[in-house]
Structure 1
Amino acid sequence: MKKTLLIASIVAMTSFSSCSKDEIVSVNQDSNKMEFNAYAGSATKAIVTVKENFQSFNLYGFQTTEEFSGNAPLTDAYINNELFTKENSSSPWEHEKEFFWSVEPNDRMQFFGVSEPITLVTTGNYPSFGYAIDVDLTKQEDFMVSVLLNQTKPANDAKVSLDFDHVLSQINFSLKGESTGFNYAVTKIELLDVNSQGIYTFNNDESLGAWSEQKEVLSYGFDLSNVVVDGTNVTEINDKIMMLLPQTLPADAKIKVTYSVKQEGRDSKIFDGSKEISLASREWENNTRTRYTLTLPTGAKEMTFDTNIGNWEYDTDEDLSIFEINKKETIIFQGTKEILTTNLTPADGSVIYTWSSSDEAVALVNETGEVTAVAGGVAVISVDALDAFKKVFAKATCKVTVNGDIPFEDPKFKSAILNKYPSVDVDKNGEISLSEALAVTELELEEDFSSIKGVAYFKNLTLLNFGGSSVTEFDVSENLALQTLKFYDTSVENFDVTKNTELTYLDCGETPIKTIDVSKNLKLKELSCGQMAELTALDVTNNVALTTLYCSDSEGITSIDVSKNTLLTYLQLQFMGLTSLNVEANTLLTELNCEENKIASLDVTANTLLTKLSCSSNKIISLNVTANTLLTDLSCSHNSILALDVTDNVALANLDFSNCSLLTAVTGLNNKSDLKNIYLTGNVLLKNIDCSQCPLLSLVKCSNSSVLESVKLGGCTELTHLYLNDCNLTGELDIYYNEKINYFNCLNNPLLKSLLVCYNLKDGVPAKWEYDRENVTISTIE
């Protein structure tokens, strides 16, 4: 029989003999004569008749003296390769011999039918037949089989019914272009390097048998003419169908399509050639209909395809049009798992799904679609959709590649790891295996790379730093042991650390991130999100373990609640849009920096442990630091402070209250044993300063204080830098005890008449001194 589709249909055939009516009556008087009916396909659907197609088959019959279960070889055939034929669909079947039932009550008949006069290789426990697929598609023939075991003479002289099933794989193709606005002219489709020969063996449950010993790799193909597809519609090639050997496809098996591409309205071709795509390790099974829907790329991209697998004979309802797995291919790392899911459109709760793996040594799959990667290699995961009669009506597959070594998307990431931590590569093969990755607890990387995909396999990481890299997105949801994460100075726009509940340190500064969610990171102790101009809000109310919080340059943030963060010791919130700040609950603070905001008042009376306070460039009118006796550094410049009292701040080392334009008085500057630097520039209402008896004072800068009349510096024996230019000094400036001054500037003090310097300078002052040498005299006391 030439290549013809035998779709699911059942038509009772005429009796195999071609007798006249009278002759039939005569024959039927012989009560032991065997009579047969033959069917092609399943009797559950009777949509398309096949009587005009099914015109020959060969029959083998073996008589056994008891029930046969395949536990012993079959002996000589009673019916030996008997050929049954008919000329056309309406003519009777013809065959040479007549066959009769045994009269022995325990005897049984075993019937095996094949649709082709092929060679019996061996009877064995079940008959086996060798079969080869012709390379010429026009000569390919549909191979069908039928089996009936342990038959006895039917009651009421009924006929033996042979139901034939297809045991080849039917391969179909559909085509679609990648993009709209282009035409794709296809001239040839080929299947390269697939097995063409095999042995078919019947089995013991009257269902489809099995193929084995597939060999003799051949390529099959067909030419096409006038086949032009677009990027919108799928075009089915229904007049070019291959019937091929069921098999696990060899490693070199491919689909090859030859085509050209033109843009609509233009004559020139933008592509003219062929594309190939691998079918390695995919499964073709008995009695299945596989359709590859190929998507043809416009240019340099790879060709892709979708696979739809259904039962050859089952006439599917029109609505049951889509059955697929959520992934057509996936790569799983050895020792990991992945869930595959099915999609049947429309949904049908009565459908039963059965999962299987082509190679369980590579990948296992359970009844829910969970795949476990066992060892390196390739396996095809299949799922059958069964109807209420437990008949397979659709199949879907997913090619699973199991990697023994971690698959890194960016090889530079792997190189950065191995360059910084060469000991990670224990077996020195230039790769990182799962066991090697699991031994790594820290990755502090300095090289540039664009992706950290693959980091998920480093399950025991506690520290990860890829700051300064070209990474734009990342996923650390599998790194549950992570305690420290740094990705500052990257282009990352979004990140998720909600699953990283062990995180104690996070640095995401200098990134374009707009939102930060650390609500689940209850162990977080340090959060750094500086220089983040896109950030508009920050919620740390759940992060009660915080000890350090650094946020800057986020002008969109106008308020922040730190009342729950009672363990904070370091708080830096600078260059933002804050209008208020309440740190009353943060009694453990030692450093507070809230400069460059819009804060009108700041109460630090509860923060008695403060050692450093910077609140410059705000709108503060009053600042009370009398309770902050441990302060060493105080910066409150560029505010509207009226007066400042630092009498009780005995530990002060650095003080800056420059450019407080409303400041009229500063008290308590004198007698500070640790004070080293004072900045008072630009205080236009300040008249007098007393810095005397500060033995470690080395710098005083009071420039541009236009009403400053006097400065007391007695006892400041370590003073080296003094800037008093552009003030209102009058009379004599006493710097007699400040003999170490190297840098001095008192220019633009028109009422200043003389400088009283130490006796050692009577013969000349340092060259770096700047003063009005024409109007200011130098004097000393011997």
Structure 2
Amino acid sequence: MKKILLTAVAALAIVGCSQNEEIEKAGEKAEINFSSIVGKSTRATEVTLDKLKTNGFYVYAYNTGELALGAGTLDKSLMENEKVSWDTGNSVWKSATYYWPSTGNVQFFAYASTKASAALTVTPTDNYPTIANYTVSAKASEQEDLLVAKVTGTKSTKTVTFVFSHILTQVNFSIKAGDATDKLNYIVTELSLQNIGSVATYSYDETWGSATNPLTYACALDETEANNTVTGSDSAPLGTEALMLLPQTLGSDAKIVVKYKIVDAKGVEYYSTPEGGKEISLSGIVWNANNRIRYTLTLTNGATPIGWDVEKINGWDTEGNTDKNTPAG
């Protein structure tokens, strides 16, 4: 405990006030505690509150005196990338012990990420920290649901309560048969987003910088072909997990590329897309942070239909013995 207390004292000394004024008497110390809330989630790739309790989160804190969030410069650091973890036995969030300054505001900035690159960047003249050059992997399995939170607290606050927000764009896909009456199976074999920016800087003033380094992001299809198939008028979700991508205004070359084939119930193939697939332009589309997007692709039937025509009706064959007089009766 002594070691933890010394750590807290060292952090508070940066504030620039007398240490005696900041820590005060032992019986008057107000310990900083944490709690958190995460919005409702539905997909496995999203971070739920239970998942946050498993992984924990990280906190930066700055004393800004009488100035409120966004007004005070972050030149007096109290916490630097402090890990906050869930104590299952006591049902409480725990970190190393820190104490509230006796006066003034403290700005808390938190993030939940598995990437070391999500650590915050700040200079003494900044009003908000940033997550610099955050990179979204090309592989869906390596992507994450990045969460952030910010809050102002004072000594009277005691427990800092974070409400985390998703700051990436979640992209999902569904498919629909272009002809609901043909009773054929439309099977997607490949689906990707192409020329999508993968690197950008996030500021805690809730803005993203321009996304750079465009990549191709493939939708992870199920190994079972039937789960990538649609028949009739109903649409069906596609992909084993959502893509977690950077918010951005998509460029002129951004597009969805899909490849699929059409077969009957016996597996006879009637159509497949060209080698390069079919393209849907996303030029100028805006993806915002904390938005869940679903693109429903109507797969048109490019099969060659069997046509019908009647050229003529042949005349009767000539009947034999046409001149024979056959009396009746």
TM-score using structure 1 length: 0.31
Q: CA deviation at 1:94?
A: 4.4
User: Residue by residue, what CA displacement relative to the aligned partner does 1:563-590 show, whole Å, maximum 9, x if unpaired?
Assistant: xxxxxxxxxxxxxxxxxxxxxxxxxxxx
**Equivalents in 2 of 1:223, 1:238: separation in Å?**
5
Alignment of 1:287-686 (within 5 A): 287-299=290-302
2:202 maps to what in 1?
200
- CA deviations on 1:156-190 (whole Å, 9 max, x unpaired) are xx522111111111101101110132211112211
| Counterpart secondary structure, 1:112 | strand
Residue identity in the other structure for 1:109: V
1:217-275 CA-to-partner distances (Å, cap 9, x unmatched) read 11110234312111311001263210100000111111111211124556133224421
Quote the residue 2:139 is aligned against.
136
**Shift of residue 121 of structure 1?**
3.0
The separation in 2 between residues aligned to 1:284 and 1:291, in whole angstroms, is: 12
Structure 2 residue identity aligned to 1:73: T
| Inter-partner Cα distance in structure 1 for 2:140 and 2:273 | 26
Could you tell me which residue of structure 2 aligns to residue 267 of structure 1? 268
Match of 1:115 among 112, 134, 148: 112
How much does 1:137 deviate?
A: 0.8
Contact 1:262 1:271 in 2 (8 A): no
Q: Give distance in 2, aligned partners of 1:87 and 1:223.
A: 37
Segments of structure 2 that go 5 or more residues without pairing to the other structure are 1-25, 41-45, 305-329
Contact 1:263 1:270 in 2 (8 A): no
CA distance in 2, matches of 1:135, 1:236: 21
Residues 1:154 and 2:156 aligned together: yes
| 1:217 is the counterpart of 2:220 | no
Asked if 1 retains the 8 angstrom alpha-carbon contact of 2:69 and 2:107, the reply is: no
In structure 2, give the amino acid aligned to 1:191.
L
Aligned to 2:237: 236
Distance in 1 separating the partners of 2:266 and 2:139: 38
TM-fit CA distance, 1:32: 1.3
Alpha-carbon contact 1:246-1:283 (below 8 Å) kept: yes
Higher fraction of strand: 2
* Map of 2:321 onto structure 1: none
Q: Tell me the secondary structure at the aligned position of residue 52 of structure 1.
A: helix
Contact 2:271 2:303 in 1 (8 A): no
Question: Could you say if the C-alpha distance between residues 211 and 50 of structure 1 is closer, same or farther in structure 2, counting changes exceeding 3 Å?
Answer: same
Structure scoring higher RCO (CA < 8 A, sep ≥ 6) equals 2
Other-structure match for 2:172: 172
Partner amino acid for 1:198? A
Distance in 1 (alpha carbons) for counterparts of 2:211 and 2:270 = 41
Partner of 1:103: 102
Counterpart for residue 282 of structure 1: 285
| Partners of 1:211 and 1:159 in 2: CA distance | 29
Residue matched to 1:775: none
Where does residue 66 of structure 1 map in the other structure?
Answer: 66
> Cα deviations across residues 714-752 of structure 1 (Å, max 9, x unaligned)?
xxxxxxxxxxxxxxxxxxxxxxxxxxxxxxxxxxxxxxx
Deviation at 1:119, TM superposition (A): 3.0
Aligned-partner residue type, residue 114 of structure 1: Y
Larger Rg: 1
Distance 1:41-1:260 versus aligned 2 partners, 3 A rule:
same
Which residue pairs with 1:56 in the alignment? Answer: 56
Distance 1:30 1:202 in 2: 33
2:189 and 2:271 map into 1 onto residues whose CA distance is 16
Return the alpha-carbon distance in structure 1 between the equivalents of residues 61 and 29 of structure 2.
19
Alpha carbons 1:188, 1:259 under 8 Å: kept: yes
Query: For the Cα contact (< 8 Å) 2:64–2:73, is it kept in 1?
Result: no
CA distance in 2, matches of 1:91, 1:220: 39
Q: Which runs of 5+ in 1 are unaligned?
A: 1-27, 43-47, 204-208, 302-782
* 1:82 aligned onto 2:82: yes
Indicate the residue corresponding to 2:246 in structure 1: 245
**In 2 relative to 1, CA 264–258 (structure 1 residues): closer, same or farther, beyond 3 Å?**
same
Q: Which whole-Å CA distance do the structure 1 matches of 2:28 and 2:37 have between them?
A: 25
Over 3 Å counting, the alpha-carbon distance change for 1:177 and 1:268 in structure 2 is same
Give yes or no for contact 1:186–1:260 (8 Å, CA) kept in 2: yes
Superposed CA deviations along residues 298-350 of structure 1, whole A, max 9, x for unmatched, are 1189xxxxxxxxxxxxxxxxxxxxxxxxxxxxxxxxxxxxxxxxxxxxxxxxx
* SS of the residue 1:120 aligns to: coil
Give how far 1:72 is off: 5.2
Contact 1:229 1:235 (C-alpha < 8 Å) held by counterparts:
yes
Distance 1:36 1:74 in 2: 21
- 3-state DSSP of counterpart to 2:77: coil
Deviation at 1:285, TM superposition (A): 0.3
1:82 alignment partner, SS class? strand
Distance change >3 Å, CA 69–CA 185, structure 1 → 2: closer
